[in-house]
């Protein structure tokens, strides 16, 4: 028997009709995550054709993108705290879920949160599943050994109607990450360093498998941070081998299998890792022990450097110059010490409990600098509760940070949480695109530790120079 | 979906690399529950003079007279990277773009194009640059011809350049086909798969 990769195993397990030269494969989808922004047009298509949702039980619905991060205790509140068009989108989601019989993790539920945070949290994300969502950061779920990728709204309609997708088989890219991370260096730094190395289209057409001793040593939340940003390297998906860490994370979660099903599932999951000798279309390696905390300086996530380094002068061309002008930075000069206006902790990349604990370890006993406004947005209502039970919210408030309800918030500035024009925001999110966080916003991507260090220093800072306090 | 067979149109060079879907349509422009009206937000960050205004920036190429009628966009590598938002494609389509020629595309965006009657054509950077300079010499008259039936782009100088597109995508564009209908032809196979899979992985099914 030929050695198979993790991706090949999951792919083969879901082929309903094999692909041919003329036609893509019909691929079965195990879990469809939906939210209010990329689904209304898809539900309209179903309505126009009189089609029902084929598998409401395999469809997990929440609201996160345009939702306010101030409390919404009743739907009457919504019009007060949300912009009219956002409120309309949210109401439409509630109506669509009601009409099509889909359970909605909405404002009245303590399970609501960012779609890529609650999938794993509820135990719906599992190894070996095919998972899709009308959101490019669906790659997050690959941390569990699932094949998970973002789709457009037409495809959302397709999955709702058929529970399948038409897919061409992507190529595979093995990313070998070995070595022990130095203190102050985290998963976010690994993925930023990787994208800087292979480029924002370095993974195009490929599914990445992240492998090696560094990956095996990471907890699930750190693994999710890496897989989350696979799309920022252009990859179709990112995956990691399920192991005991994965199994322990899922054990006892509400939607995880129970009893005999659990035992059978675990057996199947632990057989999913790539066989020894499995081949990949491409391979790259990264020495994790040499990594430093990373930050971005330009307008895509590949424009990243170690926090102590100067902006490289090796780039040229009009696109690079435009990025430098937009960011008001200069090649040859460091980002370190640049004054910061805003710090955003949140998004599907870095808003989980361990991220918040890291932020608290920097903020404890310190103050957010006078020139900085800091917004901390937990990834889900469950994380919010967990953080509050640990007293993290008090650490944040005492430092002068703003502690909010869960949602995508300032990552994409769709819910009213935006960065004012010209301001510099150090953000734990995933994209530093021009205008992403607000018109004229200048975004610097960093890990939770580096972002927190910037908040208390008032400027871009090296987190390794600050003692952390547990 | 509008069918795509041939096109003979003005092309607008927007030769930036990594044009992301946030640039094509910012999130603040997509709080709609339908596909209509999204073209107003197309390239909003570049197309208008001031944040939030609708006053056109005369420096932006799609605001300049011959290019206002462009149906083809020429751009740099990795066009449409980033967010999966199909709103980007709906906005381009409503504005009038039917074909985008670039060295490479973001994968989700490229798929979204085909599902909405927009043809993505991959040409290397040298060829895209050459097309752009020919177009710039006389934008209103130096049209680019696209023939999906023959898989050929004819440059203003008369040279023909073949492009690759999978048969499935080509068929979908030529016929204006709908993927849901195509997939539902396999209803029985889907049912059989599900019945067998339920035996293998009962925990996946929650009904």
- State pLDDT tens for residues A9-19: 999 999 999 99
Domain boundaries, chain A: 6-167, 171-242+265-290, 297-465
DSSP state of B204: G
The whole-number pLDDT of residue A80 equals: 83
Give the Cα separation of A367 and A397 in Å (integer): 9
Token pair belonging to A366: 């310190």
Any bridge partners for residue A282, and if so which? A173
| A residues 167-186 closer than 8 Å to B (CB) | 168
Closest by Cβ to B189, choosing from A17, A152, A255: A17
DSSP, residue by residue, A281-326: SEEEEEEGGG---EEE-SSSTTSEEETTSBPPS---SHHHHHHHHH
Residue B50, pLDDT > 90, answer no
B121 and B163 Cβ atoms separated by less than 8 Å: yes
Best probe of the A interface among B203, B205, B207, by most A CBs < 10 A, is: B203
Measuring CA to CA, which residue among A309, A312, A345, A328 is closest to residue A188? A345
Contact A435 B17 (CB under 8 A): no
Mean pLDDT of all residues belonging to chain B: 95
Q: What was the pLDDT predicted at A76? A: 82
DSSP state of A144: G
* Burial class of residue A446 in the structure, from the number of CB atoms within 10 Å of its CB (0-12 exposed, 13-18 middle, 19+ buried): buried
What is the torsional sign of CA B63, B66, B72, B77?
negative
- Reported as a single tens digit per residue, the pLDDT across A391-423 is 999 999 999 999 999 999 999 999 999 999 999
Fold of the CATH domain A6-167: Aconitase; domain 3 (3.30.499)
Question: Which of the four pLDDT bands, split at 50, 70 and 90, describes residue B42?
Answer: very high
Give the dihedral sign, CA A356/A414/A124/A107: positive
Query: If you search the block for the tokens 């059989």, which residue do you land on?
Result: B192
Residue B177: predicted pLDDT: 86
Confidence at residue A236, expressed as pLDDT on a 0 to 100 scale: 97
A6-167 matches A171-242+265-290 in fold: no
Helix (H) or strand (E) holding A44: helix A40-49
Phi, psi of A48 (to 5 degrees): -60, -35
Residue A319: the pLDDT is 85
Q: Which residues contact A242 (CB under 8 A, 6 or more apart)?
A: A127, A128, A144, A145, A269, A270, A272, A273
What is the average pLDDT across B18-36?
92
Supply the CATH classification number for the domain B6-176.
Answer: 3.20.19.10
Beta strands in A179-335 (DSSP E): 206-211, 237-239, 282-287, 294-296, 304-306
Cβ contact A28:A163 at 8 Å: yes
Q: Note the pLDDT of residue B207.
A: 83
What class has domain A171-242+265-290? alpha beta
DSSP, collapsed to helix, strand or coil, labels residue A16 as strand
**pLDDT surpasses 80 at A214:** yes
Q: What is the DSSP letter of A24?
A: P
* Nearest chain A residue (CA) to B194: A28
Confidence band, pLDDT 50/70/90 cuts, at residue A465: very high
Q: Average the pLDDT over A140-146 and give the result.
A: 98
Return the residue in B42, B83, B200 with the most chain A beta carbons within 10 A, the one to mutate for interface testing.
B83
Nearest residue to B24 (alpha-carbon basis) of A217, A435, A265: A435
What are the structure tokens assigned to B86, written together?
């199909």
Residue A302: what are its φ and ψ, rounded to 5°?
-80, -15
A136 and B82 in contact by Cβ < 8 A? Answer: yes
Task: Kindly list the domain boundaries of chain B, sorted by start residue.
Answer: 6-176
Which two tokens mark B132?
């752009």
Q: A137 with A396: CB under 8 angstroms?
A: no
Please provide residue B109's backbone torsions phi and psi, each rounded to the nearest 5 degrees: -60, -45
**Separation CA A122–CA A131 (nearest Å):** 14
pLDDT tens column, A288-312: 999 999 999 999 999 999 999 999 9
Closest CA relative to residue A229, chosen from A400, A446, A36, A435: A446
State whether residue A166 is helix, strand or coil. Answer: strand
Closest CA to B111 of A319, A156, A192, A116: A156
Are A428 and A345 in contact by the 8 Å Cβ rule? The answer is yes
Maximum Cα interatomic distance, chain A, rounded to a whole number of Å: 64
Asked whether the beta carbons of A403 and A396 are under 8 A apart, the reply is: yes
Inter-chain CB pairs, A–B, below 8 Å? 193
Average pLDDT over residues A273-295: 98
Using DSSP bridges, classify how beta strands A442-445 and B119-122 pair: parallel, antiparallel or unpaired. Answer: unpaired
pLDDT higher than 90, residue B178: no
Query: pLDDT at residue B33 above 90?
Result: no
**What's the rounded mean pLDDT across residues A267-295?**
98
Residue A345's DSSP bridge partners are A376
Number of neighbours of residue A363 by Cβ within 10 angstroms:
27
pLDDT for the residue A39:
96
Instruction: Specify the length of chain B in residues.
Output: 207
CB contact under 8 A, B108 and A262: no
DSSP state for residue B164 in the 8-state scheme: -
CA A142 to chain centre: 11
CA distance A281 to A29: 25
Lookup result for tokens 């490289």: A312
A44, pLDDT greater than 90: yes
Distance from C-alpha of A148 to C-alpha of A224, rounded to nearest angstrom: 12
Q: Which helix (H) or strand (E) holds A31?
A: strand A31-34
Using an 8 Å Cβ cutoff, are B12 and B101 in contact? no
Do B84 and A414 lie within an 8 Å CB cutoff? no
**CA of A243, closest CA in chain B: separation in Å?**
19
Mean pLDDT of A330-348: 97
Give the pLDDT confidence of A167-181 residue by residue, as tens digits.
Answer: 999 999 999 999 999
Query: If pLDDT is split at 50, 70 and 90, which confidence band does A313 have?
Result: confident
- Are residues A410 and A404 in contact, defined by beta-carbon separation less than 8 angstroms? no
Which residue, among B22, B79, B33, B81, has the nearest Cα to A418 in the 3D structure?
B22
Q: Are B69 and B96 in contact (CB under 8 A)?
A: yes
* Spatial separation of the C-alpha atoms in residues A400 and A373, rounded to whole Å: 8
Best residue of A201, A208, A296, A321 to probe chain B, by most B CBs closer than 10 Å: A201
Task: Tell which residue, B103, B125, B78, B19, has the closest CA to residue A198.
Answer: B78
- Please judge whether A319 and B76 are an interchain contact, meaning their C-beta atoms are less than 8 angstroms apart: yes
Q: Which residues of A touch B18 (CB under 8 A)?
A: 200-201, 300, 319
Output the pLDDT for position B181: 86
pLDDT at position A244, please?
Answer: 98
**Which pair of tokens denotes residue A190?**
């690994």
Kindly report the average pLDDT of chain A as a whole number: 96
- Nearest of A429, A421, A279 to residue A345 by alpha carbon: A429
- pLDDT, tens digit, for every residue of A95-141? 999 999 999 999 999 999 999 999 999 999 999 999 999 999 999 99
- CB of A271 less than 8 A from some CB of B: no
Q: Read out DSSP for B90-105?
A: HHHHHHT--EEEES-B
Q: Across residues B8-29, what is the average pLDDT?
A: 96
For residue B52, pLDDT over 80 is answered with no
Within an 8 Å CB–CB cutoff, is residue A152 touching chain B? yes
Q: In terms of C-beta density within 10 A (0-12 exposed, 13-18 middle, 19 or more buried), how is residue A98 classed?
A: exposed
> What is the average per-residue pLDDT within B37-42?
96
CATH architecture of the domain with residue range A297-465: 2-Layer Sandwich (3.30)
Sign (positive/negative) of CA torsion A66, A80, A70, A98?
negative
Write the pLDDT tens digit of every residue in A361-381.
999 999 999 999 999 999 999
């Amino acid at each position: 028997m030929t050695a198979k990769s993790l991706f090949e195993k999951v792919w083969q397990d879901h082929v309903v009709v094999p692909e041919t030269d003329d036609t893509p494969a019909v691929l079965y989808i195990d879990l469809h995550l939906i939210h209010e922004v990329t689904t209304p047009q898809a539900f309209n298509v179903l309505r126009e054709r009189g089609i029902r949702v084929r598998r409401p039980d395999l469809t997990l619905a929440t609201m996160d993108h345009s939702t306010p991060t101030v409390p919404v205790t009743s739907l009457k509140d919504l019009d007060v705290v949300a912009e009219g068009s956002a409120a309309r989108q949210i109401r439409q989601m509630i109506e669509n879920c009601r009409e099509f019989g889909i359970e909605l993790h909405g404002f009245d539920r303590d399970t609501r949160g960012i779609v890529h945070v609650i999938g794993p949290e509820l135990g719906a994300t599992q190894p070996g599943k095919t998972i899709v969502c009308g959101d490019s950061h669906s790659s997050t779920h690959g941390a569990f050994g699932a094949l998970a990728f973002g789709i457009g709204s037409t495809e959302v309609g397709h999955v709702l109607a058929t529970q399948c997708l038409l897919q061409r088989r992507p190529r595979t890219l093995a990313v070998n990450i070995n070595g022990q991370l130095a203190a102050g260096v985290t998963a976010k730094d690994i993925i930023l360093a990787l994208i800087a190395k292979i480029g924002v289209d370095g993974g195009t057409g490929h599914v990445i498998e992240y492998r090696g001793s560094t990956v095996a040593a990471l907890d699930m939340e750190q693994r999710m941070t890496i897989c989350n940003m696979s799309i920022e390297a252009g990859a179709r998906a990112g995956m990691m081998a399920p192991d005991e860490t994965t199994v322990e994370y899922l054990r006892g979660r509400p939607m995880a299998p129970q009893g005999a099903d659990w035992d059978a599932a675990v057996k199947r999951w632990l057989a999913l890792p790539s066989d020894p000798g499995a081949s990949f279309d491409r391979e790259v390696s990264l020495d994790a022990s040499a990594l430093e905390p990373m930050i971005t300086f330009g307008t895509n996530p590949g424009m990243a450097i170690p926090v102590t380094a100067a902006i490289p002068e090796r780039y040229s061309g009009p696109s690079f110059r435009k990025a430098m002008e937009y960011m008001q930075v200069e090649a040859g000069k460091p980002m370190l010490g640049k004054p910061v206006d805003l710090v955003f902790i949140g998004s599907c990349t870095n808003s989980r409990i361990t991220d918040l604990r890291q932020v608290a370890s920097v903020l404890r006993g310190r103050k957010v600098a006078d020139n900085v406004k800091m917004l901390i947005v937990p990834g889900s209502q469950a994380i919010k509760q967990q953080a509050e039970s640990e007293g993290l919210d008090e650490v944040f408030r005492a430092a002068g940070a703003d502690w909010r309800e869960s949602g995508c918030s300032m990552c994409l500035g769709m819910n009213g949480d935006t960065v004012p024009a010209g301001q510099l925001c150090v953000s734990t999110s995933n994209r530093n695109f021009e205008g992403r966080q607000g018109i004229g916003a200048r975004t610097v991507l960093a890990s939770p530790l580096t972002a927190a260090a910037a908040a208390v220093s008032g400027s871009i800072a090296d987190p390794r120079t600050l003692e952390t306090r547990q | 979906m509008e069918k795509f067979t041939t096109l003979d149109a003005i092309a607008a060079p927007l030769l930036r690399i990594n044009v992301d879907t946030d640039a094509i349509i910012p999130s603040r422009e997509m709080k709609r529950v339908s596909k209509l009206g999204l073209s107003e937000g197309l390239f909003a960050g570049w197309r208008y003079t001031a944040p939030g205004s609708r006053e056109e920036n005369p420096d932006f190429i799609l605001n300049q007279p011959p290019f206002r009628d462009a149906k083809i966009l020429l751009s740099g590598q990795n066009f449409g990277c980033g967010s999966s938002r199909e709103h980007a494609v709906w906005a381009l389509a409503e504005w009038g773009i039917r074909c985008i020629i670039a060295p490479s595309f973001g994968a989700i965006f490229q798929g979204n194009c085909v599902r909405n009657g927009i043809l993505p054509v991959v040409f290397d950077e040298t060829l895209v640059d050459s097309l752009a300079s020919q177009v710039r010499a006389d934008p209103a008259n130096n049209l680019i011809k696209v023939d999906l039936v023959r898989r050929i782009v004819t440059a203003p100088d008369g040279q023909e350049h073949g492009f690759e597109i999978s048969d499935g995508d080509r068929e979908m564009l030529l016929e204006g086909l709908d993927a849901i209908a195509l997939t539902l032809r396999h209803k029985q196979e889907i049912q059989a798969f599900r019945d067998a899979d339920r035996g293998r992985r009962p925990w996946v099914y929650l009904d």
